[in-house]
């Protein structure tokens, strides 16, 4: 779609706005996102190692309770109002799939808590999760089908 043609008055306004618009701190934001994402992943690995040692599980089996714990932490921080504060500072780094998914689920549920525990929180808790889970299942099916059809290695 081609860019909309601006009249001279609109162009002058856009030029003035550009002059006062704050410059994004891209390097700082990228560094904070990288570091905070690394901390989240480090915590996930530490939990995997912990559950592996405590429950005497191999790493691939210890990942399941570690992921569940990370989801719990993301949901807890969101419900306490701390996740958004951390995300404002750390940026996209804390929105790695597990913690970001928990945050988006709980945020949607908290918006409708006045509707009650069933019709508010319960119904809205899975409004986002349903589409994500459906997409994941369909994608896994398609990838599995392609893997099954293509000749083996």
- Per-residue pLDDT tens over the stretch 94-103: 887 788 888 8
Question: What's the total number of domains in the chain?
Answer: 1
Domain assignment present for residue 57? The answer is: yes
- Determine the structural domain holding residue 105 and report its residue range: 27-149
pLDDT attached to residue 119: 77
Distance CA 49, CA 69 (A): 13
Q: Is residue 145 in a domain? A: yes
Backbone angles phi, psi at 75, to 5 degrees: -65, -40
DSSP structure string for 95-138: GSHHHHHHHHHHHHHHHTGGG-IIIIIIHHHHHHHHHHHHHHHH
Q: What are phi and psi of 3, to 5 degrees?
A: -65, 145
pLDDT in tens, 50-80: 999 999 999 899 999 999 999 999 989 998 9
Q: What is the DSSP letter of 84?
A: H
Q: Please give the residue that has the higher pLDDT: either 128 or 12.
A: 12
pTM of the predicted protein model: 0.68
Does 8 fall in a domain? no
Nearest to 109 by CA among 99, 100, 119: 119
């Amino acid at each position: 779609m081609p860019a909309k043609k601006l009249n001279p008055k609109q162009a002058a306004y856009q030029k003035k706005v550009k002059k006062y618009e704050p410059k994004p701190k891209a390097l700082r934001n990228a560094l904070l996102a990288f570091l905070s994402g690394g901390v989240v992943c480090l915590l996930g690995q530490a939990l995997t190692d912990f559950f592996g040692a405590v429950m005497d599980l191999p790493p691939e089996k210890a990942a399941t309770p570690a992921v569940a714990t990370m989801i719990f932490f993301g949901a807890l921080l969101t419900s306490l109002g701390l996740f958004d504060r951390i995300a404002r500072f750390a940026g996209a780094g804390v929105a790695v799939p597990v913690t970001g998914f928990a945050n988006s689920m709980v945020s949607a549920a908290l918006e409708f808590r006045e509707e009650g525990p069933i019709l508010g929180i319960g119904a809205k808790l899975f409004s986002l999760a349903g589409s994500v889970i459906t997409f994941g299942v369909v994608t896994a099916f398609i990838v599995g089908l392609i893997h099954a059809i293509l000749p083996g290695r």
